[in-house]
Amino acid sequence: MVKEQAHRWQRRKEERPSEIIDAALEVFVEHGYAASKLDDIARKAGVSKGSLYRYFDSKADLFKEMVMQVVIPELEKAESTVNDYQGAIATLITSMVTNWWKTMGETRVCGIPKLVISEAANFPELAEFYVDSVIKRGRKLVAGMIKRGIESGEFREIDPDYAARIMISPVVFASIWKESLSSFDDEYDINHFLVMNTEIFLRGISRNRETDI
Amino acid sequence: MVKEQAHRWQRRKEERPSEIIDAALEVFVEHGYAASKLDDIARKAGVSKGSLYRYFDSKADLFKEMVMQVVIPELEKAESTVNDYQGAIATLITSMVTNWWKTMGETRVCGIPKLVISEAANFPELAEFYVDSVIKRGRKLVAGMIKRGIESGEFREIDPDYAARIMISPVVFASIWKESLSSFDDEYDINHFLVMNTEIFLRGISRNRETDI
Amino acid sequence: MVKEQAHRWQRRKEERPSEIIDAALEVFVEHGYAASKLDDIARKAGVSKGSLYRYFDSKADLFKEMVMQVVIPELEKAESTVNDYQGAIATLITSMVTNWWKTMGETRVCGIPKLVISEAANFPELAEFYVDSVIKRGRKLVAGMIKRGIESGEFREIDPDYAARIMISPVVFASIWKESLSSFDDEYDINHFLVMNTEIFLRGISRNRETDI
Amino acid sequence: MVKEQAHRWQRRKEERPSEIIDAALEVFVEHGYAASKLDDIARKAGVSKGSLYRYFDSKADLFKEMVMQVVIPELEKAESTVNDYQGAIATLITSMVTNWWKTMGETRVCGIPKLVISEAANFPELAEFYVDSVIKRGRKLVAGMIKRGIESGEFREIDPDYAARIMISPVVFASIWKESLSSFDDEYDINHFLVMNTEIFLRGISRNRETDI
DNA sequence: GATGAATGAGATTTCATTCAT
DNA sequence: TATGAATGAAATCTCATTCAT
């Protein structure tokens, strides 16, 4: 299904029309990779089907490039927020989670995790890139925050890497859920879910009662 | 010329050869719905392609029936464990999570969540069934456990429904992860992840220090 | 996943390549609907199989559109002949029958009646169209001629609608016969059959001996 | 489509269960050859699909045998009626036509002509049999009647063979019509159609006014 | 550079026919 | 002898990709 073409990520990055990337994001998120038709993407982007091939080698290539173009900037924003921050880590974590949802939760971008997870088996190359460039990098950011919290005495002595995994999973899960089964489930307040989860998590890793929020 | 649509779930359930269900589970979990070929399923089941159609109306039908046949028994097992249990809820929760992973984590069944999430948009009927018959039922079971813990004084006064969502999400996430990106990530001990997560969660909702595990 | 059914006859009529219509006419007339393969039609039209689907939604659609495109012009020709005519009706009838056979009898078009009759049960939509737009319209034309003959005193007072049915049936039957069993039967002169039939019919409905041909 | 097996008509005739023949008649008439499924015929006959093959070599064989078994007795009845008759031929013709319709018009048998005509191209062997054993034999019967009418002075000197074709065609056409497009057309009285047609025909071939009905 | 008609490989689906029970 | 599950060849249909204009 996937024709592997040993090629370099981000090649020809600059020339790529953002209309195509945007259209691809929208269509792929809505239908999944296989059920998305290039016809639809081309129509939504306002170009001809043939034109797609000037910018992308294949449907698979478009898919992979789209994911990368869309996801990297988001990560970079988060990193600079963390690096610039001074103050209690618990507060930072809480504000990041709610901010993240406020911005990401409303865009199509939050469909990316579901997409990547769904297609990982069919796009090992993409999966590898995603894990290396997004997952690990994001987890490292979170683990760093937790380490700062441990060092500052806010948190107990726990493994920061596992703690990061634990903290991240409900957040990612929320985005996956929103893009898949949420519309079939009872309505619930995702923001409340995230806040409550963060609170329980922080209480769970806090050094003592007093530091609890 | 007119396709009959009145379609009852679990129709002809018993007659369905388990070889086909098993093969379908394996192939669908491995490749996703669209990338799975009936040829492969038939070959793996040891029957001809045409034979599939004696038991299933279509590829979509096979997919939906497979999910239901596979997932319901797992849920029923969990329910009877909870109902028969007497003792501290925290202990029950911990043992359930680790047991669940010990059994489910090793079978193909734990690929179902990823599959359903990936295909929800293309199979709204299945998604609806899954949410109603699996998600809500499972969440109710967990919420009931938490309520018992609140009533017995183990846990703080929290919303059991949201707490259930919070508790479930890392567990489901672990299964999704295992079936998608885990092989591209650094190895990590899923069991440790789940135990640690449960411990943090229980500590986070516990009434006081003394009840902590 | 949902097939659009709102289907208007004569949609996209003009764009349809006549090569495909012609090839379809030929193949369908020769083998009947079910035994006609899209492969054969495509090959005969000089296009690929897939190209058929740019112009027609399905085999059934191609069949229906072909019938309509082919049959309407023939009817219109006949109507203008009748409308422009001045003179004895018996003469008009005789000349129309023989002319009709001279032109229609030699083209593939005269296979249409057999085709529509054969497939009526499987294509009720087409059958309805055909009866309304071809049969009734044609019968009305003939009934009008007979009425003119009655009013001018050429013919007896008979029910023009039934008389039209009686006059039409051997002509249509001749075309059906030619396309089906004639090649297994003794050769006979269809033109003579039609002329003799018309003569007997006109004598049978004539007011008096003297007007007989 | 049709596998020719040089084999003798009416082989194993006696053993053939009439339930199968009846079921085949019904299903073939209703859907045409290609759209008829052996499953349906077997179910309607109350036997298993496999059992059909004990009595018939193939679907094509069943089709051909069915036509022959059903059609021959009808013809023989007509022949003995004609042979036994004494009196005016015009009267015989009129009574035969109306009687024929009264009996045939109500059974499934009158679907046979449409069926044979529709499938002639795909079943040349059957077509040949049908023309030789039914059409020609029937036409000869009618031509004989007309000849008797000419000899007795009832009818003009006309070619009896062509006259027979002319007389037969509206009758056969009526049966074809009934089985195909009649349900999409305005209702009309077929018996009246046949009586009126016969009357016009007889008047058209009568020697003089006085012999007219 | 852009277009969109044409391609054809590959997928699902049907069903007459076979054959072990 | 009768059954009906299993077969597999053949058909329709889809859509990523190409290429003449």
**Rounded mean pLDDT, C132-160:** 95
- Tell me the C-alpha distance between A35 and A41, whole Å: 12
Q: What is the dihedral of CA A130, A133, A135, A139, to 10 degrees?
A: 180
Share of chain C above pLDDT 90, in %: 77
Tell me, what's the pLDDT at D209? 52
Judge contact between C183 and C176, C-beta under 8 A: no
Q: B38 beta carbon < 7 A from strand E?
A: yes
Tell me which chain A residues have a C-beta less than 8 angstroms from the C-beta of B123. none
**A1, A31, A204 member nearest B122 (Cβ):** A31
Question: Using 50, 70 and 90 to split pLDDT, how confident is the model at D14?
Answer: low
- Tell me the C-alpha distance between D52 and D41, whole Å: 9
pLDDT at D200 over 90: yes
Q: Give the residue, D10 or B85, on which the prediction is more confident.
A: B85
Instruction: Identify nearest nucleotide to residue B35 by CA to C1′ distance.
Output: E11
Judged on CB neighbours under 10 Å (0-12, 13-18, 19+), D204 is buried
| A12-44 tens-digit pLDDT | 445 678 999 999 999 999 999 999 999 999 999
User: Which single residue has its CA nearest the C1' atom of nucleotide F14?
Assistant: C50
pLDDT at C3 over 70: no
Q: A37 beta carbon < 7 A from strand F?
A: yes
Which residues, 6+ apart, have CB-to-CB distance to A108 below 8 Å? A25, A26, A29
Question: Count of CB contacts below 8 A, A vs B?
Answer: 153
Tell me which chain A residues have a C-beta less than 8 angstroms from the C-beta of B121. 30-32, 35, 180
Q: D44 beta carbon < 7 A from strand E?
A: no
Q: A58 beta carbon < 7 A from strand F?
A: yes
**Rounded mean pLDDT, C142-167:** 95
Tell me, what's the pLDDT at B208? 67
User: Which single residue has its CA nearest the C1' atom of nucleotide E10?
Assistant: B37
Tell me, what's the pLDDT at A11? 45
Tell me, what's the pLDDT at C209? 53
Question: Using 50, 70 and 90 to split pLDDT, how confident is the model at A3?
Answer: very low
pLDDT at A58 over 50: yes
pLDDT at A210 over 70: no
Question: Using 50, 70 and 90 to split pLDDT, how confident is the model at D208?
Answer: low
- Inter-chain touch B117–A176, beta carbons under 8 Å: yes
Q: A44 beta carbon < 7 A from strand F?
A: no
Tell me, what's the pLDDT at C74? 86
Candidates B135, B184, B190, B194, partner chain A, best to mutate (most A CBs within 10 A): B184
Tell me, what's the pLDDT at C111? 94
Tell me, what's the pLDDT at D153? 93
Judge contact between D112 and D134, C-beta under 8 A: no
Tell me, what's the pLDDT at A209? 52
Q: Give the residue from A120, A136, A135, A11 showing the smallest Cα distance to A61.
A: A11
Chain E positions with an atom below 7 A of a protein C-beta are 1-20
Tell me, what's the pLDDT at A8? 44
Tell me, what's the pLDDT at C4? 36
B167-176, D99-108, D137-146: which has the minimum mean pLDDT?
Answer: D99-108
For residue A195, the distance in angstroms to the closest alpha carbon of chain B comes to 11
Q: D49 beta carbon < 7 A from strand F?
A: yes
Tell me, what's the pLDDT at D132? 92
| B143-192 tens-digit pLDDT | 999 999 999 999 999 999 999 999 999 999 999 999 999 999 999 999 99
Tens of pLDDT along chain B (213 residues) come to: 333 333 444 444 456 789 999 999 999 999 999 999 999 999 999 999 999 999 999 999 999 999 999 999 888 988 998 999 989 999 999 999 998 888 888 889 999 999 999 999 999 989 999 999 999 999 999 999 999 999 999 999 999 999 999 999 999 999 999 999 999 999 999 999 999 999 999 999 998 654 444
Q: Which chains touch D (3 or more CB pairs under 8 A)?
A: C
Q: D1 beta carbon < 7 A from strand E?
A: no
Distance B152 CA to F12 C1' (A): 64
Candidates C97, C140, C191, C196, partner chain D, best to mutate (most D CBs within 10 A): C196
Taking 3-state DSSP, the helix, strand and coil percentages for chain D, each rounded to the nearest 5, stand at 70, 0, 25
CA C142 to chain centre: 14
For residue B33, the chain A residue with the least C-alpha distance is A34
C15-24, D133-142, D188-197: which has the minimum mean pLDDT?
Answer: C15-24
**C119, C135, C173 member nearest D172 (Cβ):** C173
| A86-139 tens-digit pLDDT | 999 999 999 999 988 888 888 889 999 999 999 999 999 899 999 999 999 999
| Residue recorded with tokens 């003792």 | B87
- Inter-chain touch A127–B159, beta carbons under 8 Å: no
Tell me, what's the pLDDT at B10? 42
For residue A109, the distance in angstroms to the closest alpha carbon of chain B comes to 16
pLDDT at C113 over 80: yes
For chain A, the average pLDDT equals: 88
- Tell me the C-alpha distance between C115 and C32, whole Å: 6
Distance C179 CA to F9 C1' (A): 30
Query: b/e for C26-52, b at 16 or more Cβ within 10 A?
Result: bbbbeebbbbbebebbbebbebeeeeb
- Inter-chain touch C201–D204, beta carbons under 8 Å: yes
Distance A190 CA to F16 C1' (A): 39
Q: Beta-carbon neighbour count of residue D15 at 10 Å?
A: 8
- Tell me the C-alpha distance between C147 and C160, whole Å: 6
Residue D120 CA neighbour count, 13 Å, CB half: 27
How far does chain C reach from its first CA to its final CA, in angstroms?
65
Question: Using 50, 70 and 90 to split pLDDT, how confident is the model at C7?
Answer: very low
Tell me which chain A residues have a C-beta less than 8 angstroms from the C-beta of B131. 181, 184-185
For residue D118, the chain C residue with the least C-alpha distance is C118
Q: Give the residue, C7 or A142, on which the prediction is more confident.
A: A142
Tell me, what's the pLDDT at B14? 52
Give the DSSP H/E element, type plus range, for residue C22: helix C18-31
- Inter-chain touch A158–B196, beta carbons under 8 Å: yes
**Rounded mean pLDDT, D176-199:** 94
Q: Beta-carbon neighbour count of residue D173 at 10 Å?
A: 24
Q: Which chains touch C (3 or more CB pairs under 8 A)?
A: D
Tell me, what's the pLDDT at C211? 43
Q: B51 beta carbon < 7 A from strand F?
A: yes
Question: Using 50, 70 and 90 to split pLDDT, how confident is the model at A144?
Answer: very high
Position C198: which residue type?
T
Tell me which chain B residues have a C-beta less than 8 angstroms from the C-beta of A121. 30-32, 35, 180
Tell me, what's the pLDDT at D4? 39
pLDDT at D101 over 80: yes
- Inter-chain touch B162–A188, beta carbons under 8 Å: yes
Q: Beta-carbon neighbour count of residue C180 at 10 Å?
A: 23
Q: What is the pTM of this model?
A: 0.86
Q: B54 beta carbon < 7 A from strand F?
A: yes
The 8-class DSSP code of residue D13 comes to T
For residue C199, the chain D residue with the least C-alpha distance is D204
- Inter-chain touch B117–A120, beta carbons under 8 Å: no
Local structure of D211: helix, strand or coil:
helix
For residue D156, the chain C residue with the least C-alpha distance is C200
- Tell me the C-alpha distance between B154 and C199, whole Å: 106
Q: Give the residue from B125, B96, B112 showing the smallest Cα distance to B175.
A: B112
Q: Give the residue, B203 or D1, on which the prediction is more confident.
A: B203
- Inter-chain touch A204–B204, beta carbons under 8 Å: yes
Q: Which chains touch A (3 or more CB pairs under 8 A)?
A: B
Beta strands in C29-165 (DSSP E): none
